[in-house]
């Protein structure tokens, strides 16, 4: 059932995005709730959209997907939640979505679903320009959390700490904890089951959150199961591929990581230390939150030797040079932890953005480290974009087993 439902969720995403534009017809009046006690991570919540089950089923029928109507068990209420987290050791406000199945009579499991890389502020889940597909888990009876991540939504004034393990983890963990107050206020009953799911950057963020939960009992959380797809878990290996000078088809990712580390770690280095002109001068405007990844790519080059400052690129080849960057990449890779919860890794065998070997070697290291409930599922012949749906085909029935 859940396999077919999630395929439908992907198809229905555009339909629900249209519904979200007509909030007078389908949404309750926005209700902002003030923050409770100061130590609570919850700050406020707002009901963005409330879609009855019947409307979801009607939308399915009118768009030619009537066979999926019976898979929709619940209406869905979508809340924007603002909560407190930490950035550079100071408290900030972050945001995300909480998608709640309506009128459930049994406690709902919780899924925290981590989205892939985004560049534009409008794509932040809480801006609700359109659904990612993850939200439709709620119509099957899961409370679904979708963090914006630091750098988007309520924290849009911060440069997104891209592939930074600690900030990635806490954006998820603190949302999970803050959502408990929303459950109390909205009388939502949840079970003790907590699933973590993510793809691409979301795969990396998923493992970061899982590591944080499993190694820090003070959070009071327990992961039921985790599934991560196509993340860059070993950033040193990723750097090794770039150092060869081979063309890299998505240079926006390279520019993202370097700028992120420069901001997040307060290196305060000039972009011209990393990048050649005209690219160094272009980057601030390209990463202002209004440009898509494809737009950024068109303004850069796929040739690392032309993208990077020649001195910087030469130093990458030397073991004793650019230690600041290399140590940061090492620290943000998953070298010193082995999953304790049931965990699946997915990766397309034809991925030319994040190499298949990155997941393969991570799986082998986890195995060697003693992970007991671990599986690695190659997705044959699929690339970085095309492996996502096959991952879901496999993933959803697995979650159902718990």
Ranking 57-66, 241-250, 254-263, 286-295 by mean pLDDT, the lowest is 57-66
With a cut of 70, say whether residue 155 has pLDDT above it: yes
Whether 11 has a pLDDT exceeding 60, the answer reads no
Cβ(384)–Cβ(351) below 8 Å: yes
State pLDDT tens for residues 16-45. Answer: 333 333 333 333 344 444 444 446 999 999
> Quick one: tokens of 207?
């493992």
If we measure between CA atoms, which residue out of 204, 134, 210 comes closest to residue 164?
Answer: 204
Compute CA distances 109 → 144, 153, 156, 270, 343, whole Å: 9, 25, 30, 47, 17
Tokens representing 78 are 């979508």
Q: Residue 63 — pLDDT band, cuts 50, 70, 90?
A: low
Rounded to whole angstroms, the Cα distance separating 163 from 262 reads 12
Which pLDDT belongs to residue 16? 32
pLDDT of residue 396: 83
Work out the angle at residue 259's Cα, subtended by the Cα atoms of residues 264 and 231, and round it to the nearest 5 degrees. 85
Domain boundaries, the chain: 2-234+338-400, 235-331
- The CATH code for residues 2-234+338-400 is 3.40.50.1820
What mean pLDDT value characterizes the chain? 88
Question: What count of Cα atoms within 13 Å lies in the side-chain half-sphere of residue 161?
Answer: 23
Cβ-Cβ contacts under 8 Å for 345 (sequence gap 6 or more): 203, 227, 228, 229, 359, 362, 363, 374, 375, 376, 377
Task: Between 73 and 92, name the one with better pLDDT.
Answer: 92
Q: Do domains 2-234+338-400 and 235-331 have the same CATH topology?
A: no
Q: For residues 196 and 206, is the Cβ–Cβ distance under 8 A?
A: yes
> What is the C-alpha separation between 179 and 251, in angstroms, rounded?
36
- Tokens 């065998």, residue? 349
**What pLDDT sits at residue 136?**
66
Q: In the 8-state DSSP scheme, what is residue 106?
A: S
| Mean pLDDT within 75-80 | 93
How confident is residue 282, by pLDDT bands cut at 50, 70 and 90?
very high
Distance of CA 286 to the CA centre of its chain: 21
Pairing of strands 90-101, 143-147: antiparallel
Instruction: Indicate whether 372 pLDDT > 80.
Output: yes
Residue 64: predicted pLDDT: 56
pLDDT value, residue 139: 84
Q: Token pair for residue 391?
A: 């991952």
Pick the CATH number of 235-331 from 3.40.50.2300, 1.25.40.20, 1.10.260.160, 3.30.70.1380: 1.10.260.160
Q: Which of 102, 98, 104 is nearest to 180 (CA)?
A: 98
* Region for residue 73 given its phi and psi (left: phi exceeds 0; alpha: psi -120 to 50; beta: otherwise): alpha
Q: What is the pTM of this model?
A: 0.89
Give the relative orientation of helices 356-368 and 235-243 as an angle to the nearest 10 degrees.
140
């Amino acid at each position: 059932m859940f396999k077919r439902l999630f395929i439908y969720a992907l198809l229905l995403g555009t339909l629900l995005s249209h519904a979200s534009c007509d909030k007078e017809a389908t949404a309750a009046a926005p209700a902002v709730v003030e923050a409770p006690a100061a130590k609570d991570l919850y700050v406020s919540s707002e009901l963005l959209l409330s879609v009855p089950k019947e409307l979801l089923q009607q939308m399915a029928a009118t768009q030619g997907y009537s066979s999926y109507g019976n898979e929709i068990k619940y209406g869905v209420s979508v809340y924007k939640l603002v909560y407190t987290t930490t950035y550079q050791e100071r408290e900030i406000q972050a945001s995300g979505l909480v998608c709640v199945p309506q009128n459930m009579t049994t406690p709902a499991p919780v899924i925290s679903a981590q989205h892939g890389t985004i560049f534009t502020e409008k794509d932040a889940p809480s801006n609700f320009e359109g659904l990612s597909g993850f939200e439709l888990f709620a119509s099957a009876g899961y409370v679904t959390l979708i963090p914006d991540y630091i750098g988007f939504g309520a924290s849009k004034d911060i440069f997104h700490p891209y592939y930074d393990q600690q900030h990635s983890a806490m954006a998820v963990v603190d949302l999970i904890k803050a959502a408990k107050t929303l459950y109390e206020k909205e009388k939502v009953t949840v079970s003790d089951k907590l699933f973590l799911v993510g793809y691409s950057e979301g795969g990396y963020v998923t493992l970061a959150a899982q590591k944080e939960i499993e190694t820090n009992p003070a959070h009071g959380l327990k992961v039921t199961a985790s599934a991560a797809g196509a993340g860059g878990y070993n950033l040193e290996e990723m750097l090794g591929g770039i150092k060869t000078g081979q063309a890299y088809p998505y240079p926006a990712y390279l520019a993202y990581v370097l700028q992120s580390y420069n901001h997040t770690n307060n290196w305060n280095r000039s972009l011209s230390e990393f990048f050649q002109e005209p690219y160094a001068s272009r980057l601030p405007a390209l990463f202002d939150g209004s440009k898509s990844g494809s737009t950024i790519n068109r303004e850069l080059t796929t040739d690392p030797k032309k993208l990077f400052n020649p001195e910087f690129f030469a130093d990458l080849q030397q073991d004793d040079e650019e230690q600041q960057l290399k140590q940061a990449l090492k620290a943000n890779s998953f070298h010193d932890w082995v999953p304790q919860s049931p965990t699946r890794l997915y990766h397309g065998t034809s991925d030319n953005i994040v190499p298949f070997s990155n997941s393969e070697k991570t799986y082998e290291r986890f195995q060697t480290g003693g992970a007991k409930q671990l599986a690695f599922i190659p997705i044959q012949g699929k690339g970085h974009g095309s492996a996502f749906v096959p991952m879901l085909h496999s993933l959803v029935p697995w979650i159902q087993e718990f």
